[in-house]
Amino acid sequence: MTATAGYYLLPAGTVLASMTYNTIGLIFGLLILVAVRWHRPARPWAWILFGTGMILSVVGDFTWWYLEHIRQEEPYPSVADVFYLASYPPLIAGLFLLQRNRGRDLGGLIDAAMVATGLGLVLWVFVLHPVAAVDAASMLERAVSTAYPSLDALLLAMVARLLIDRRVRTPSTDLLGMAAVLLLVADVAFSVASLYFDYEGRAMDWGWLLAYVLWAAAALHPSMAADTPVVSGPGRVSRGRLVILGLCSVLAPVLLVIPSVGADTVDRVVIAAGAAVLFVLGVARMAVVMAKVRGQAVELERLANQDDLTGLHNRRHFYRALGEALVGSRPQVVLLGLNRLRAINDELGHLAGDDVIVQIADRIRALAGPDALVARLSGDEFAVLVRDAPEGGADAVAGLLAGAVHDPVDTRGYEVLVGAGIGVAGGADAAGPAEVLRRAGVAMFAAKQSGEPYRRWAPGLDERSVEEARLGAQIRHALAERQFQVVYQPIVVMPEQRVAAVEALVRWHHPRLGTVSPAQFIPVAERNGLIVELGAWILQTACEQLVRWTVELGPDAPDRVSVNVSARQLARPGFAGTVADVLARTGLPAYRLTVEVTETAVFDGGPAVTALHELRALGVRIALDDFGTGHSSLGLLQNVPVDILKIDKSFVDRITEAGRHAVIAEAMIQVSNGLGLDAVAEGVETAEQAQALTRLGYRLLQGYHFGRPAAEPEFARIRVARGLTVPGAAALS
């Protein structure tokens, strides 16, 4: 700046003034090249071209000065113009390079073309055409003087593009834009001045000089290093841009209004052509905008119908597709709900949970086949829409899926078992999509409860779920109304048949329904959570009872009481504390209490197993109920503290027949002996079974043969029956 200002202080036309001018230009041109080394911009070639352009221009200046002052020749047109004109292509090319790959912004390109056409028209009318029309001028002179504004128009298009898009602006591009605009203004001013006013001065020099300075400043600014961001999304059209485009579009008619312009035929033709080009560009611009809007609509549609995590369709899309399929065909829905996702999230974190979901989604996608539509309906629910399959065709899919989700999932070094319930619905009388999904949901729920691989919806299932809701409400009521009772079933020691323990079993005396089996209401109470309250009451009652018997019967009282504890109770934090409280309140020593849990309750590990360890620490004994029916992994016995195995009734039932049941029962007593555990055989109904079990080595037996569950079992009479060939146990109950 100082240098530029200083230049004007020098006497006009002196050698010193010209030299200063040229030196300033040269220095700034070289500065750009230095800046390239310095900032290492993303697009060095653009800047090298700028520097080259400026140096060429300076060479032009020098030639001009040489011709004018040394050779005393007329410098215009001359070799100097060759250098001047040669300086434009690098500048234009540099600006083009700088803006390449800007996300294929076709709209921006059209906008720039519109600006260039509009301003080009003005240039033509006021500069190009008049210059071309000057009779005195030679052909060469005319050609040269039209070449400048034409190159300026090209430069203008590039600058327009640079400035029009606000998204790619940095301080550096702003400076660049200002420099280019200044260059244009100076060029045009020079042409106009020399054309209309026969001007020969150097007032325009300031413009060119300042342009050099700004150009160099743009190169020196640190922001030049930043690559202009690649914009892929549709850019917003700013209001400023709209105003500029609007002005350019109306330029043609406005020009025609000017009297001298409107009168000239050539001008009118050029303006008409310009107007036509502007019109076409305008239409093209609209098409680009429309295409962008359409693209956005497609993207929005995709986002609205897709599940982010898995890339599967989402509920909204599934619902609509199901609705459409229901018109005219009989689609079927396979609904799959994961079992253990919550636990996985809690234990391994949400990233693991997400990973499991993605892997399961991949399995489902792979198995469902290319024609099926797979969706993730909610956090842990997936659905497959089976179109145009024969009735029952979805069952094949359901079977495949059941197999696939059964395999463990490998996540972050853990092998986790997820498990799922699968429901199938649809077909003949399929109602609306909501109803089909509801039916599939009911079936899935039923499958989860029964542990079947999958379940197809049937009207009976609905009744069951309505029934369940009613039962839930009644259990709540029954707790308050004290309709529950605890009964006790003897567990005897063979061969003397002394009652070593009793198992506490709950009964519900419903005022209208009579006695409801725990097999009916315990699962419901487990699902609605009432088991926690009910279970605490049972535990308290059973402990109180054993204390009372001890006081009343002395040595005839059973040593221990077994209380069933469901998975839900066990997994609740503080369960061991509840047990300790009950023991303290009732005064029952911990060793006289046994807690019966099923394999399934502890198979998943987690809080249930922790609770068992805490109970063990209290001195409470732990029995594994229904042993042999669940996952039956002996590995379980390594992690879970167990004192007693209760061999399930199903093995006892056929113990007298020669077959695998007897073999398994024998293996089980050997395992429990080997591990130092007690084994109790459940559901012994006959003397033959009792004998067979005793022969195999079972010492503890339980079943109707020895006594049915009762409020007050007759402990003494069982002992009296000892030694009888046929104990006639049924008569005891």
Binding-site ranges for Ca ion (CB under 5 A):
564, 596, 625-626, 682
Of the pair 271, 679, the CB lying nearest ligand C2E is at 679
Print the binding letters for residues 503-542 with ligand C2E: x by CB under 6 A, - otherwise. Answer: -xxx----------xxx--x------------x--x----
DSSP letter at 591 equals G
Contact with ligand C2E (CB under 6 A) among 628, 683, 713, 727: 683
Minimal distance, residue 446 CB to ligand C2E, in Å: 19
Which distant-in-sequence residues (6+ apart) come within 8 Å of 452 by Cβ?
Answer: none
Q: How far is the CB of 566 from ligand C2E (least distance, A)?
A: 4
* Number of residues engaging ligand C2E in binding (CB under 6 A): 22
**Of 596, 537, 608, nearest in space to 571 by CA:** 608
Closest CA to 410 of 447, 342, 346, 363: 363
**Beta carbon nearer to ligand C2E, 175 or 690:** 690
CA distance from start to end of the chain: 114
Least spacing, CB of residue 510 vs Ca ion, in Å: 22
Instruction: Name which of residues 216 to 255 contact ligand C2E (CB under 6 A).
Output: none
**Which of 17, 522 has the CB closer to ligand C2E?**
522
Look at the alpha carbons of 91, 92, 96, 99 in this order and tell me if their dihedral is positive or negative. Answer: positive
CB of 579 to ligand C2E, least distance (A): 14
205 forms beta bridges with none
Residue (219 or 692) nearer to ligand C2E, CB: 692
Q: How far is the CB of 465 from Ca ion (least distance, A)?
A: 26
Report in angstroms how near the CB of residue 600 gets to Ca ion at its nearest. 12
Alpha-carbon gap, residue 343 to 380, rounded angstroms: 12
Q: Does 561 bind ligand C2E (CB under 6 A)?
A: no
Helix segments in 43-138, DSSP class H: 44-65, 79-98, 106-123, 129-133
Interface positions, 482-501, toward ligand C2E (CB under 6 A): 489
Whichever of 69 and 507 has its CB closer to ligand C2E, that residue is: 507
Pairwise CA distance, residues 446 & 711, whole Å: 33
Site string for ligand C2E, 573-612 (x = CB under 6 A): -----------------------x----------------
Distance, in Å, from the CA atom of 59 to the CA atom of 73, rounded to the nearest integer, reads 17
614 binds, among ligand C2E, Ca ion, none (CB under 5 to 8 A by kind): none
Rounded Cα distance between 386 and 370, Å, is: 11
The angle at the Cα of 296, spanning 284 to 305, to the nearest 5 degrees, equals 155
Least Å distance, CB 525 to Ca ion, is: 15
Burial of 363 (0-12, 13-18, 19+ CB in 10 A): middle
Q: What is the DSSP letter of 732?
A: G
Does 643 bind ligand C2E (CB under 6 A)? Our answer is: no
Give the separation between CA 53 and CA 49, rounded to whole angstroms: 6
Taking the complex as a whole, how short is the minimal distance between the CB of residue 518 and ligand C2E, in angstroms?
4
Which listed option, Ca ion, ligand C2E, none, makes contact with residue 490 (CB within 5 to 8 Å by class)? none
* Token pair listed for 141: 């002179």
Q: How many CB atoms lie within 10 A of CB 475?
A: 22
Q: Is 685 in the site for ligand C2E (CB under 6 A)?
A: yes
Applying CB under 6 A, the span of 47-55, 184-192, 331-339, 679-687 interacting with ligand C2E comes to 679-687
Q: Map the footprint of ligand C2E across residues 623-642, applying CB under 6 A.
A: 625-626
Q: Which is nearer to ligand C2E, 530 or 669 (CB)?
A: 530
The distance of closest approach from Cβ of residue 525 to ligand C2E in the complex, given in angstroms and rounded to an integer, is 8
Burial label, 104 (beta-carbon count in 10 A; 0-12, 13-18, 19+): exposed
Secondary structure letter of residue 236 according to DSSP: P
Q: Residue 704 binds which one of Ca ion, ligand C2E, none, with CB within 5 to 8 A depending on kind?
A: ligand C2E
DSSP assignment of 437-453 equals: HHHHHHHHHHHHHHT-S
Question: CB of 672: closest distance to Ca ion in angstroms?
Answer: 15
Closest distance to ligand C2E from the beta carbon of 522 (Å): 5
Q: How many other C-beta atoms can be found within 10 angstroms of the C-beta atom of residue 473?
A: 10
Instruction: Please list the residues that pair with 335 across neighbouring strands.
Output: 383, 423
Determine the residue with CB nearest ligand C2E: 703
Contact between residue 358 and residue 309 where contact means Cβ atoms under 8 Å apart: yes
Closer residue to Ca ion, CB minimum distance, 545 or 564: 564
How far is Cα of residue 588 from the mean position of the Cα atoms in its chain? 53
- Contact segment (CB under 6 A) with ligand C2E among 221-229, 389-397, 421-429, 681-689 equals 681-689
Judged by beta carbon, residue 267 or residue 626, the one nearer ligand C2E is 626
Rounded Cα–Cα distance for residues 307 and 382 (Å):
11
CA 691, CA 630: separation in Å to the nearest integer?
26
Contact residue for ligand C2E among 345, 564, 586, 594 (CB under 6 A) = 564
Nearer to ligand C2E, 111 or 596 (CB): 596
- Cα distances (angstroms) measured from residue 595 to each of 78, 516, 642: 110, 23, 10
Show the binding pattern over residues 694-713: x = contacts ligand C2E (CB under 6 A), - = does not: ---------xx----x----
Instruction: Name the segment binding ligand C2E (CB under 6 A); options: 74-82, 562-570, 602-610, 690-698.
Output: 562-570
Contact map string, positions 102 to 141, toward ligand C2E, x by CB under 6 A: ----------------------------------------
Q: Report the C-alpha gap between 517 and 508 in whole angstroms.
A: 7
Strands 313-314 and 373-378: parallel
Alpha-carbon span 164 to 108, nearest angstrom:
7
| Conformation bin of residue 103: beta by default, left when phi > 0, alpha when psi is -120 to 50 | left
Pick 416 or 701: Cβ nearer ligand C2E: 701
Q: Which residues bind ligand C2E (CB under 6 A)?
A: 489, 504-506, 517-519, 522, 535, 538, 564-566, 596, 625-626, 683-685, 703-704, 709
